[in-house]
């Protein structure tokens, strides 16, 4: 009974937003690229590189906000690889994204050694200021993430631009017939998702912490992917799922369960995603053209 | 034949470009590329012992490469090699330490069977979900990777570990996979000529490598000499046409995923029973994901994967020597990622050239 009471305290619910922040950002990015028909399993690598770049930028300039810009730039740089190789040259999206994840892991540890001469944790860098809301400290990236949810919803569902993105993901050749430049839209959507994943990395390294630790993204890019699917490719749904997964992480760390090991609680997001994907609770249907490169003049 | 040569040419070409780009990273680290690549060479194939250790490094990569390649032939993308390896390794490590008093050969066999069964189960789940529910295998296998991490590395080790080490207890001697440097001490085998060539200190090659070669033969035979293999490739070419021809694509999808999971499970068994003599945190070390690169470079052909696995094994093994002379060994990881980019990119170049030629012929 006490455990259950612990599970629903206000601080626990409030802190869930902090755990959920990187998931929200990367999941929103994922909504963009998947709605346009591109799979991005490189969110993980983009987040990791963003986390490193944030610490580097913050450390070099002494200004954590410049670090945030660096993280966005880092996410964009990796997204550019994915966009050029997969959208422009139409190589396999899964293969290239896997390459990006391996690249991110190698590159960040390489930079740790070359720039700082360490193998595990970077020197400390100035972190973002925190803001107190309802007694809970948040860094500004959490607020940005929450604010982005309605903005992304508005762009995708209330603007012609969003309509075009969604039509490209469902039926690219029909969109092409209407004069929409399919590959240009996909290119831009991949870049947006890279920028958001990079920003998610900054939250981990200079938002919640003040250094970079090797492999610090710890699969959050993949949980974000799961949140996006669980939220059925909808920004508000993805936000809700990210919050739920963030909550799962929060209770697994902060609540002591007598009857179930906390390690197993952390597996819940993944199990839920499989269940939803298999259609056991409400079917999750991906955009129709997902994962397929678009060639003009073919069907 | 010409085709094989072209494939080989493309593969070699992408490795050469990756190594060339790697030079930039070595220079950026303030080191000499010549020294770095010399160390890479010395550390990987510079001596007989290092060559054998390269084969040791290659073994799990060959298996995880197979785990991607077989479902790929049936049109599926198995990103789950990592998780399948983990559950396999955990099952082997568990059977290896938990049961005592089983005779040597039998204990190893049981542990390996447990690994195969666990890996196969981890392939069966996404296989069934894909075949009957249409759930995208890329996503389900990624999720299963993380479920495997939580179950084995986090929960499993926490439950059984002794002391501070993030590992299961060490396996019994009877569950240890035979190492090549123990060959000379065996009764009959030990008296064979040249057997002392394997009795080297620091040699870590174990018999899982032989299993990997046998698996390559098995896969080649399965894919090109059996009806099942024909059906598998037919589903990969065109699932609906195969279905029309009386092939059950559901059965084929599930079978390919189960075999793939079993093979990745074997990779885990080798690491647990041969390499570490326990199941430990971090022993997966991205082997599942590197296996994707190996399969890609090996053009999804069993023998190509063995070759690509040995190449990637050489890179990892040589990377140690690089680290030893003070050059960041992560350059090797970067080179491996670059190989992926270039192989994927070149594949498109080939496709593009083919397209141009078709166009030319049509006109």
pLDDT, average across residues A144-168: 96
User: For testing the chain B interface, which of A101, A102, A221, A226 should be mutated: the one with the most B CBs within 10 Å?
Assistant: A102
Among A110, A270, A279, the residue with its CB nearest the CB of B331 is A110
- Å between B267 CA and nearest CA of chain A: 19
Beta bridge partners of B167: B280
Instruction: Give the residue from chain B lying closest to A114, CA to CA.
Output: B29
Q: Inform me whether the pLDDT recorded for B252 exceeds 90.
A: yes
Among B133, B344, B349, the residue with its CB nearest the CB of A278 is B133
**Residue A278: what pLDDT?**
84
Q: How far is the first Cα of chain B from the last one, in angstroms, to the nearest whole number?
A: 29
- Å between B200 CA and nearest CA of chain A: 31
pLDDT, tens only, A48-57: 999 999 999 9
Q: How far apart are CA A194 and CA A38, in angstroms?
A: 12
Q: How far apart are CA B31 and CA A204, in angstroms?
A: 32
> In chain B, which residues have their Cβ closer than 8 Å to the Cβ of A102?
286, 289-290, 293, 333, 336-337, 340
- Give me the residue label for tokens 């890329």: B138
CB contact under 8 A, A110 and B136: no
Cα B281 from chain centroid (whole Å): 18
CB contact under 8 A, A89 and B348: yes
User: For testing the chain B interface, which of A99, A248, A282, A287 should be mutated: the one with the most B CBs within 10 Å?
Assistant: A99
Instruction: Give the residue from chain B lying closest to A222, CA to CA.
Output: B142
pLDDT, average across residues B57-72: 96
User: CB of B149 within 8 Å of any CB in chain A?
Assistant: yes
Q: How far apart are CA A108 and CA A119, in angstroms?
A: 10
pLDDT, tens only, A46-96: 999 999 999 999 999 999 999 999 999 999 999 999 999 899 888 889 889
Q: Enter the ipTM.
A: 0.88
Q: Which residues of A touch B (CB under 8 A)?
A: 39, 41, 81, 85, 89-92, 94-96, 98-103, 105-107, 109-110, 113-114, 219, 222-223, 225-226, 229, 261, 263-264, 266-267, 270-271, 273-274, 277-279, 286
pLDDT, average across residues B104-125: 96
Domain contains A133: no
User: CB of B211 within 8 Å of any CB in chain A?
Assistant: no
Quote the crossing angle between the two packed helices A140-158 and A10-35, to the nearest 10°. Answer: 40
User: CB of B79 within 8 Å of any CB in chain A?
Assistant: yes
CB contact under 8 A, B158 and A263: yes
pLDDT, average across residues A23-31: 97
Beta bridge partners of B206: B179
**Residue A279: what pLDDT?**
79
Instruction: Give the residue from chain B lying closest to A108, CA to CA.
Output: B330
Q: How far apart are CA A249 and CA A269, in angstroms?
A: 9
Instruction: Give the residue from chain A lying closest to B154, CA to CA.
Output: A263
> In chain A, which residues have their Cβ closer than 8 Å to the Cβ of B334?
103, 106-107, 110
Among A95, A110, A274, the residue with its CB nearest the CB of B334 is A110
- Å between A112 CA and nearest CA of chain B: 10
Among A85, A219, A229, the residue with its CB nearest the CB of B345 is A85
Q: How many domains is chain A built from?
A: 1
* Inter-residue contact A172 to A288 (CB < 8 Å): no
Q: How confident is residue A297, by pLDDT bands cut at 50, 70 and 90?
A: low
Domain contains A165: yes
Q: How far apart are CA B14 and CA B24, in angstroms?
A: 16
Torsion of the alpha carbons at B255, B257, B259 and B262, rounded to the nearest 10 = -140
Beta bridge partners of B280: B167
Which structural domain range is residue A38 located in?
A: 7-126+139-277
Among B79, B136, B144, the residue with its CB nearest the CB of A286 is B136
Please list, in sequence order, all residues whose beta carbon lies within 8 angstroms of the beta carbon of residue B331, skipping any fewer than 6 positions away: A106, A110, B22, B25, B26, B29, B36, B319, B322
| 3-state class (DSSP) for residue B335 | helix
Which of A195, A242, A215 lies closest to A82, judged by CA?
A: A195
- Å between B113 CA and nearest CA of chain A: 26
Question: Which CATH entry fits the domain spanning B14-337: 2.60.40, 1.10.10, 1.10.3470, 2.30.29?
Answer: 1.10.3470
* Inter-residue contact A82 to B313 (CB < 8 Å): no
% pLDDT > 70, chain B: 99
pLDDT, tens only, A221-242: 998 998 998 898 999 999 999 9
Backbone angles phi, psi at A138, to 5 degrees: -125, 145
**Residue A248: what pLDDT?**
85
pLDDT, tens only, A182-202: 999 999 999 999 999 999 999
Domain contains A155: yes
pLDDT, average across residues B89-102: 94
Domain contains A29: yes
Q: Inform me whether the pLDDT recorded for A283 exceeds 80.
A: no
Q: Inform me whether the pLDDT recorded for A299 exceeds 60.
A: no
Average pLDDT, chain B: 91
- Give me the residue label for tokens 């040589």: B318
pLDDT, average across residues B200-224: 94
Q: How far apart are CA B335 and CA A165, in angstroms?
A: 35
- Give me the residue label for tokens 């070409």: B13
- Give me the residue label for tokens 């140690």: B320
Q: How far apart are CA A83 and CA A70, in angstroms?
A: 19
CB contact under 8 A, A98 and B292: yes
Q: How confident is residue B105, by pLDDT bands cut at 50, 70 and 90?
A: confident
Q: Inform me whether the pLDDT recorded for B72 exceeds 70.
A: yes
**Residue A295: what pLDDT?**
81
User: CB of B2 within 8 Å of any CB in chain A?
Assistant: no
pLDDT, average across residues B45-66: 95
Q: How confident is residue A298, by pLDDT bands cut at 50, 70 and 90?
A: low
> In chain A, which residues have their Cβ closer than 8 Å to the Cβ of B80?
none
- Å between B6 CA and nearest CA of chain A: 19
CB contact under 8 A, B344 and A92: yes
Domain boundaries, chain B: 14-337
**Residue A266: what pLDDT?**
83
Average pLDDT, chain A: 90
B130, two tokens: 């894909």
> In chain A, which residues have their Cβ closer than 8 Å to the Cβ of B338?
99, 103
Which of B191, B274, B236 lies closest to B69, judged by CA?
A: B236
- Å between A86 CA and nearest CA of chain B: 9
pLDDT, tens only, B302-340: 999 999 999 999 999 999 999 888 888 889 999 999 998
> In chain B, which residues have their Cβ closer than 8 Å to the Cβ of A230?
none
pLDDT, average across residues B223-245: 90
**Residue B360: what pLDDT?**
72
Q: How far apart are CA B281 and CA B153, in angstroms?
A: 6
- Give me the residue label for tokens 């080649």: B220
> In chain A, which residues have their Cβ closer than 8 Å to the Cβ of B77?
94
What CATH number did the domain enclosing A224 receive?
1.10.3470.10
How many CA within 13 A on the CB side of residue A299? 0
From chain B residues 338-357, the ones with a CB under 8 A of any chain A CB are 338, 340-341, 344-345, 347-349
């Amino acid at each position: 009974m006490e455990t259950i009471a612990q599970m629903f305290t206000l601080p626990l619910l409030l802190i869930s937003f902090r755990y959920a922040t990187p998931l929200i950002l990367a999941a929103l990015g994922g909504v963009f690229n998947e709605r346009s028909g591109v799979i991005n399993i490189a969110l993980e690598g983009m987040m990791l590189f963003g986390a490193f770049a944030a610490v580097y930028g913050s450390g070099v300039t002494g200004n954590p906000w410049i670090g945030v810009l660096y993280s966005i730039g880092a996410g964009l740089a990796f997204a550019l690889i994915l966009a050029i190789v997969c959208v422009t040259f139409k190589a396999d999206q899964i293969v290239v994204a896997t390459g990006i994840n391996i690249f991110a892991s190698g590159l960040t540890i390489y930079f740790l050694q070359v720039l700082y001469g360490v193998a595990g944790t970077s020197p400390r860098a100035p972190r973002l200021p925190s803001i107190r809301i309802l007694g809970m400290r948040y860094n500004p990236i959490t607020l940005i993430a929450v604010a982005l949810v309605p903005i992304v919803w508005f762009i995708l569902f209330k603007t012609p631009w969003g309509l075009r993105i969604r039509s490209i993901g469902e039926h690219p050749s029909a969109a092409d017939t209407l004069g929409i430049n399919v590959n240009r839209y996909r290119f831009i959507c991949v870049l947006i998702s890279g920028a958001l994943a990079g920003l998610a990395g900054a939250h981990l390294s200079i938002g919640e912490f003040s250094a970079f630790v090797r492999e610090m993204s710890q699969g959050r890019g993949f949980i974000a992917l799961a949140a996006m699917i669980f939220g059925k490719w909808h920004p508000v749904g993805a936000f809700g799922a990210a919050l739920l997964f963030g909550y799962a992480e929060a209770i697994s760390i902060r609540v002591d369960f007598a009857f179930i090991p906390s390690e197993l609680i952390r597996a819940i997001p993944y199990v839920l995603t499989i269940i939803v994907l298999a259609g056991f609770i409400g079917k999750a249907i991906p955009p129709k053209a997902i994962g397929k490169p678009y060639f003009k003049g073919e069907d | 034949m010409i085709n094989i040569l072209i494939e080989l040419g493309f593969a070699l070409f992408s490795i050469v470009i990756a190594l060339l780009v790697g030079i930039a990273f070595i220079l950026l680290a303030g080191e000499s590329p010549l020294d770095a690549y010399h160390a890479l060479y010395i550390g990987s194939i510079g001596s007989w012992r290092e060559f054998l250790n390269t084969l040791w490094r290659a073994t799990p990569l060959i298996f995880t490469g197979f785990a991607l390649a077989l479902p790929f032939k049936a049109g599926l993308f198995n990103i789950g090699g990592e998780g399948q390896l983990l559950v396999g390794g955990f099952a082997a490590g568990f059977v290896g330490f938990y049961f005592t008093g089983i005779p040597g050969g039998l204990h190893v066999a049981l542990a390996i069977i447990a690994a195969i069964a666990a890996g196969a189960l981890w392939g069966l789940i996404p296989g069934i979900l894909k075949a009957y529910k249409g759930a995208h295998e890329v996503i389900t296998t990624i999720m299963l990777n993380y479920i495997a991490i939580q179950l084995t590395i986090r929960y499993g080790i926490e439950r059984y570990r002794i002391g501070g080490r993030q590992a299961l207890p060490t396996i019994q001697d009877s569950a240890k996979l035979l190492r090549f440097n123990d060959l000379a001490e065996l009764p009959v085998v030990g008296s064979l000529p040249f057997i002392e060539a394997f009795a080297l200190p620091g040699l870590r090659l174990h018999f899982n490598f032989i299993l990997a070669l046998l698996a390559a033969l098995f896969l080649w035979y399965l894919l090109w000499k059996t009806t099942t293999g024909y059906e598998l490739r037919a589903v990969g070419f065109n699932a609906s046409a195969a279905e029309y021809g009386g092939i059950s694509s559901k059965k084929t999808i599930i079978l390919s995923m189960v075999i793939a999971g079993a093979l990745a499970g074997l990779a885990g068994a080798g690491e647990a029973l041969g390499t570490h003599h326990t199941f430990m945190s971090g022993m997966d070390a991205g082997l599942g994901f590197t296996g994707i690169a190996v399969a890609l470079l090996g053009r999804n052909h069993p023998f190509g994967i063995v070759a690509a696995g040995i190449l990637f094994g050489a890179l990892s093994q040589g990377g140690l020597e690089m680290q030893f002379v003070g050059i960041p060994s992560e350059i090797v990881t970067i080179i491996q990622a670059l190989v992926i980019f270039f192989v994927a990119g070149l594949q498109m170049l080939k496709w593009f050239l083919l397209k141009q030629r078709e166009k030319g012929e049509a006109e």
